[in-house]
A and B are shown apart, each in its own frame.
Chain A
Amino acid sequence: MTLTVTTRPAAGRVAPVGRRRRDRSARVLGYSVPASLVLLAMALYPMVVLFRMSVSDVGPTNIIGHWNFVGLANFAAAVGDPATWAAALRTLALSAVLLVSNLVLGFLAGAVLSEPGRLTNLVLGIMVFVWALPPLVSGSVWKFVLNDNGAVNAVLGVIGIPAVPWLSSPTAALWTVSAVTAWASLPFSTLILRGGMLAINRDVVEAAAIDGAGYWRTQVAIVLPLLRPTLWILAILTVIYSFKSFDFFYVLTQGGPGTATNTLPVLSYYAAFNQFEMSSGATVAVLSMVVVAVFAVPYVRSINREDQE
């Protein structure tokens, strides 16, 4: 609810236009100060510290005190370490799984859930619940369910399929955790795409139907092209999400078995907060941020373009 109060200056006391504009600018500037300060303190300042850490030698002995500047040595070490590249590849694998899930499954689920009905409302409610669940909670449940002697393998056993080492196999663990992460992010993409579908002019869809297009033909030939900007933004957000996804990996496998699920955020966390190698952790985090920034630029451009349209 918005309450608008309009005040009118008294007759004969109207200020000059230039002065009114200046006053307004000053007022707008004043209003933006608190938000700017919070942004400086909570976002920009930590990022500056992070960058400083990545070009310094910071370990447990000097974390409080002077940080020696080492230039790009930390980046050279990180780039030269096969573990970083292996972690980057795993992160890309997670991105691929999330892209398929969020875009393909999200589109299908969004299309199905665009049809009104009680079942739709029920499913949407469940999806919002899943989306709102803290990853630490849902991750713990999945860990229990996917254990070697957990519920999933018990069900497989009933139908004669041998148990699958979902989380303990170095081959399966990455895909399992990626699937759980995809499960958690699917509601968001579904809701976004469903919103986009509902915003499409019904006349266009009905015209396609009159021309003889079936339901799925309409979805593929009419709805999908019209959703392209939304899909593009969703894809960018998905890649960004995969490069900062940490919770499920921490809860389900702690980066293991061995190093099988050591993605870039996990690598950064263990270096910084387990081994207190702050520089190494910060360097990996900065490298991740570079990737995120590469995708953030077209994202911001897309948003601006949408606003202008």
Chain B
Amino acid sequence: MSLRHPRRPSLRSGAVKVGAALGALLLAGTGCAIKTDSGSSSGGGSGTGTTTLTFWEYYQGTQLTWLQGRVKDFEAKNPTIKVNLVQATGQQFDQKLLASVATGTTPDLFINNIVVDYPTLQAGGVMADLTPYWDAYSGKKNFPENTTWTTDGKVYNLLPYTNLLGMYYNKDILQQYGIQPPTTLDEMTAAMTKIRAAGKYSGVALSGAPSVEGAWLFAPQFLGLGVNYCNLDANQAALSAAFQRVAAWRSDDALPRAAATWDQNASWQQFMTGKYAFGLNGNWQLGNVKKANFAYGTTQFPAPAGGKSQVFPGGEGYGIGAKSKNKDAAWKFLTEAILTPEAGESIYTEAGSIPVESQAADSDTLNKDPNAAPFVKAAQDTAAWPKNSQTAAMQQALGVAVSGVISGQTTAEAATSKAISTIDAAKQKGGGGCA
């Protein structure tokens, strides 16, 4: 299937050419555009035999420090290759990558928010086909199947580390009420009922924002039943039960109404106040939770009745630009700096992400940390994202429905009906395919 029309509009008129040139100049002047070093946006190289790889990324804080360290080590071992990290705004990342295809200046390497970006970027022709590289890669046996993100049997994106959801609990509160850490949603509901009855603490802090984040937190309530975005219409009862559970948490005051607008950071701040028994959040908080002034523990995301604990894999995918002239060097960087067991251990210790490479996942570094263990286990059996260009629209629809139920704007029944119809419409708009 050809995704792009062969007749791409050309800049015919002088006025448009001048306008485009001025626009580009002004964008560069404002500092909004992604900047590259002298002529090395792709196919970079100098007369001295040095290859410059341009790497677009949006990491912050510990993740950025980790990546800078990997680049430094790689450059020390490969003096003829320089990696130029280019920082971009996460909100505008997709647009810039899509635009780079039109101008033939895709970066050599880039990361992407795999949860929402992959279908868009793959369909937009941003990503190079990595199949030949991956097939010839000797280390691939150490990675689970869900490391590779494929379309039509071709590998376009790699997910060497993952971010997953799990449950943090306040040990002090659970011990006070004689409650064991719950493993199922029913146990969790019963625990919160008991805690709320005493009137001293709240139940759970989670993100219910009307966005991808709210959907990401809500989906594990039905994923473990084999229900996902692709078959929601045939599993209306499971979705309805999940919405009714959230509505019950809300009506019992186990879940505050304010959660309807909380993003993951806001819900984490709430859990860290010590007023909540549970916090549903990700492994990237493993470093932050050490600052809690209460005893804490972690478990996998509680399983729905009759199902298993299962969450969607999140995190950053790594891709090579379709227009890159340095694909071999870019692949070398990925295999020597990103896919190694050492890189896997270091991203856990430095940034809290969970490596999927088997040696790193089995290392003492991870296994000796009991709080990391539930996330490591979750990484071995994650749910599959729908393969549809409208995945973001599907998640948005579910997020809006969850937020509506938590806030009381809509009932569980109405939210179920609306979510299913909107998600189905998005699925059809994205070609109808899903699994």
Contact = CB atoms under 8 A, between A and B. Distances in A.
A66 B8 CA distance: 6
Given A256-B211, A257-B261, 8 more contacts: A38-B26, A45-B23, A62-B5, A168-B258, A170-B409, A256-B210, A258-B409, A277-B393
A169 B250 CA distance: 12
Contacts of B125: 64
Interface of B: 3-5, 7-9, 15-16, 18-20, 22-23, 26, 91, 94-95, 98-99, 101-102, 119-120, 123-125, 208-212, 256-261, 263, 389-390, 392-393, 396, 400-401, 403-410, 426, 429
Given A62-B3, A256-B403, A40 B15 contact: yes
A270 interface: yes
22 contacts: A37-B18, A37-B22, A41-B26, A42-B22, A45-B23, A63-B124, A64-B98, A149-B258, A169-B407, A254-B209, A254-B261, A257-B208, A257-B257, A258-B400, A258-B407, A259-B210, A259-B409, A274-B211, A275-B426, A276-B94, A276-B389, A276-B392
Nearest to B24: A41
Nearest to B18: A37
Contacts of A62: 3-5
B409 A260 contact: yes
A45 B16 contact: yes
Interface string A27-44: 000000000011011100
Interface string A140-183: 00000001110000000000000001011110010000000000
A280 to B, nearest CB: 10
A61 B94 CA distance: 12
A9 interface: no
A91 to B, nearest CB: 17
B213 to A, nearest CB: 9
A168 B258 CA distance: 5
Contact of A256 (B124, B260, B389, B408): B260
Interface in A162-211: 165, 167-170, 173
Nearest to A68: B5
B210 A257 contact: yes
Given A64-B101, A274-B396, A257 B119 contact: no
Contacts of B95: 273
B392 A274 contact: yes
A259 B404 contact: yes
Nearest to A66: B5
A170 B3 contact: no
B93 to A, nearest CB: 11
B258 A59 contact: no
Contacts of A165: 257-258
B260 A168 contact: yes
Nearest to A252: B261
Contacts of A37: 18-19, 22
A148 B259 CA distance: 10
A116 interface: no
Contacts of A273: 91, 95
A41 B400 CA distance: 37
Contact of A170 (B19, B259, B407): B407
B104 to A, nearest CB: 11
B23 A256 contact: no
SS class, residues of chain A in contact with chain B: loop
A212 interface: no
Contacts of B403: 256-258
Contacts of A253: 261
Contacts of A170: 404, 407-409
Interface in A46-99: 59-66
Pairs A-B, 4 closest by C-beta atoms: A66-B5, A258-B404, A257-B407, A257-B260
Contact of A64 (B19, B102, B261): B102
A270 B116 CA distance: 13
A106 interface: no
A63 B212 CA distance: 21
A255 interface: yes
A273 B98 CA distance: 12
Interface in A251-287: 252-260, 270, 273-277
A30 B259 CA distance: 58
A273 to B, nearest CB: 7
Given A256-B407, A257-B404, A41 B18 contact: yes
A45 B389 CA distance: 28
Contact of B23 (A42, A173, A260): A42
A274 B389 CA distance: 12
A41 B22 contact: yes
A62 B400 CA distance: 26
A66 B4 contact: yes
B19 A45 contact: yes
A276 B26 CA distance: 25
From B102, B396, B407, name the one whose CB has the most chain A CB atoms within 10 angstroms.
Answer: B407
Contacts of B99: 64
Contacts of A65: 3-5, 8
A268 to B, nearest CB: 14
- Which of A60, A165, A170 gathers most chain B CB within 10 Å? A60
Contacts of A45: 16, 19-20, 23
Contacts of B407: 168-170, 173, 256-258, 260
Contacts of A275: 390, 392-393, 396, 426
Nearest to B397: A275
Contact of B120 (A38, A40, A60, A169): A60
Contacts of B409: 170, 257-260
B48 to A, nearest CB: 34
Nearest to A259: B400
B3 A254 contact: no
